[in-house]
């Protein structure tokens, strides 16, 4: 197996791979402190929609285990405080809020003892973790049928094992097609400014032995106009019932160019990424530190330090530019406002 596992639950501690250090260093961090896990999400040591949901669930479990509460009611207060803290880490990926909601409903149950309440919270975090892995395998089983032998697939950002509990969503589809024997090639975009494509996707694909070519984000139009891309497969941070896909900044640009060149664009994501409540105008797009743009990876200044900067971390691709959405429950096609609610049922 070529893929990595970024989380390990150590009964009272969480161990995670610091993706900020990749591909130069494989640094694992271990902590029993929920605040340290919250900071790992904010600074993007842990990133990717399903992975931050899993991390937040483990963080809440750590808050329960480290609580000094003397009663179940006090423990519940501590846990709910931790949930509020994790809600403030990153605003866009809905999986975070989905996982926290699951932890909250476990916290709100009645328990006869502190230890049974703590055990239930740890159990739920472990279930969220295991379910995500299983979900990705199912997404990939459905998705691999869309990839043909000999295809060149373009992907953006990192929707791999490093963004999930394991295996990956978009990279899971690519991985499964490859493992089935399809001779595919991948074009990975570098994904400015945090470079998840160059640092993480390339690292994962090289580990798996899948041929990969790295391009800068601005080369997408060129490669598509030269007929070098057969399909686009990306992940998602939030999918609305209308089929609007919120994903890494640059996805919308890729979708427009793919549509211009009749290249199908597939979105691979678990149903926990589907937000059935929010409307497109209400979606909060995270605006990150301007220094991520002024500096390359916090080190090399590439502009006038005082320049005004925009740094939205995500964009919104409208449904008409999306060919299909691959979930663990099946593949949804247009009109998404009819097919997505059916999948959720």
The residues that touch ligand MRU, with contacts defined as CB under 6 A, are 47-50, 93, 157, 159, 163-164, 169, 196, 235-237, 247-248, 313
| Parallel, antiparallel or unpaired: strands 324-327 and 265-268 | parallel
> Please, which residues have CB within 8 angstroms of residue 39's CB and are 6 or more apart in sequence?
none
Within the chain, residue ranges assigned H as helices are 34-42, 49-66, 72-87, 94-107, 114-143, 170-179, 196, 202-208, 220-225, 251-260, 291-294, 336-344
C-beta nearest to ligand MRU: residue: 235
Can 132 be counted among the known catalytic residues? no
CB of 232 or CB of 313, closer to ligand MRU = 313
CB of 136 or CB of 339, closer to ligand MRU = 136
Look at residues 109, 95, 107, 24 and name the one whose alpha carbon lies nearest to residue 64: 107
Can you tell me the distance from the alpha carbon of 272 to that of 3, in angstroms, rounded to the nearest whole number?
Answer: 22
> Please, which residues have CB within 8 angstroms of residue 27's CB and are 6 or more apart in sequence?
17, 18, 21
CB atoms within 10 A of CB 307: 9
Can you tell me the distance from the alpha carbon of 238 to that of 236, in angstroms, rounded to the nearest whole number?
Answer: 6
8 A C-beta contact, residue 86 and residue 42: no
Quote the least distance from Cβ 80 to ligand MRU, whole Å. Answer: 25
Q: Helices 114-143 and 94-107: crossing angle, nearest 10°?
A: 150
CB of 143 or CB of 235, closer to ligand MRU = 235
Quote the least distance from Cβ 237 to ligand MRU, whole Å. Answer: 5
| Parallel, antiparallel or unpaired: strands 212-215 and 231-234 | unpaired
Quote the least distance from Cβ 58 to ligand MRU, whole Å. Answer: 17
Quote the least distance from Cβ 155 to ligand MRU, whole Å. Answer: 9
Quote the least distance from Cβ 115 to ligand MRU, whole Å. Answer: 35
Can you tell me the distance from the alpha carbon of 233 to that of 274, in angstroms, rounded to the nearest whole number?
Answer: 17
Return the exposure string of 257-278: e unless at least 16 CB atoms fall within 10 Å of the residue's CB, then b: bbbeeebebbbbbbbbbbbeee
> Among residues 237, 262, 275, 315, which one is catalytic?
237
Can you tell me the distance from the alpha carbon of 20 to that of 161, in angstroms, rounded to the nearest whole number?
Answer: 15
Tokens 């530019």 belong to: 321
CB of 6 or CB of 157, closer to ligand MRU = 157
Quote the least distance from Cβ 286 to ligand MRU, whole Å. Answer: 8
Quote the least distance from Cβ 68 to ligand MRU, whole Å. Answer: 33
Active site (catalytic) residues: 237
């Amino acid at each position: 197996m070529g893929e990595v596992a970024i989380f390990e639950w150590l009964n009272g501690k969480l161990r995670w791979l610091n993706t900020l250090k990749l591909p130069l260093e494989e640094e694992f961090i271990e902590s029993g402190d929920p605040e340290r896990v919250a900071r790992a999400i904010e600074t993007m040591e842990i990133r990717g929609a399903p992975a931050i949901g899993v991390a937040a669930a483990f963080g809440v479990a750590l808050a329960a285990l480290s609580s000094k509460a003397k009663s179940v009611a006090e423990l519940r207060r501590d846990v709910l405080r931790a949930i509020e803290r994790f809600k403030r880490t990153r605003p866009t990926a809905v999986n975070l809020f989905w996982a926290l909601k699951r932890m909250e409903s476990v916290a709100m149950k009645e328990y006869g003892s502190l230890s049974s309440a703590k055990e239930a919270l740890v159990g739920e975090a472990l279930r969220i973790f295991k379910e995500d892995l299983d979900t990705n395998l199912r997404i990939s089983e459905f998705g691999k049928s869309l990839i043909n032998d000999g295809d060149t697939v373009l992907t953006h950002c990192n929707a791999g094992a490093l963004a999930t509990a394991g295996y990956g969503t978009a990279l899971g589809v690519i991985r499964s097609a490859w493992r089935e024997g399809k001779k595919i090639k991948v074009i990975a975009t570098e994904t400015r400014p945090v470079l998840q494509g160059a640092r993480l996707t390339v690292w994962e694909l090289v580990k798996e032995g899948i041929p990969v070519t790295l391009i800068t984000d601005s080369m997408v139009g060129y490669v598509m106009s030269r007929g070098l891309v057969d399909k686009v497969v990306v992940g998602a941070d939030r999918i609305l019932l209308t089929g609007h896909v919120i994903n890494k900044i640059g996805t919308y640009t890729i979708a427009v160019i793919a549509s211009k060149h009749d290249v199908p664009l597939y979105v691979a994501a678990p149903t926990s990424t589907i937000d059935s409540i929010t409307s497109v105008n209400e979606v909060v797009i995270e605006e990150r530190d301007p220094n991520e743009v002024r500096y390359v990876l916090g080190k090399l200044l590439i502009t006038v330090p005082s320049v005004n900067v925009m740094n939205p971390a995500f964009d919104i691709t409208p449904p008409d530019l999306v060919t299909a959405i691959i979930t663990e429950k099946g593949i949804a096609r247009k009109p998404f406002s009819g097919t997505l609610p059916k999948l959720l049922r």
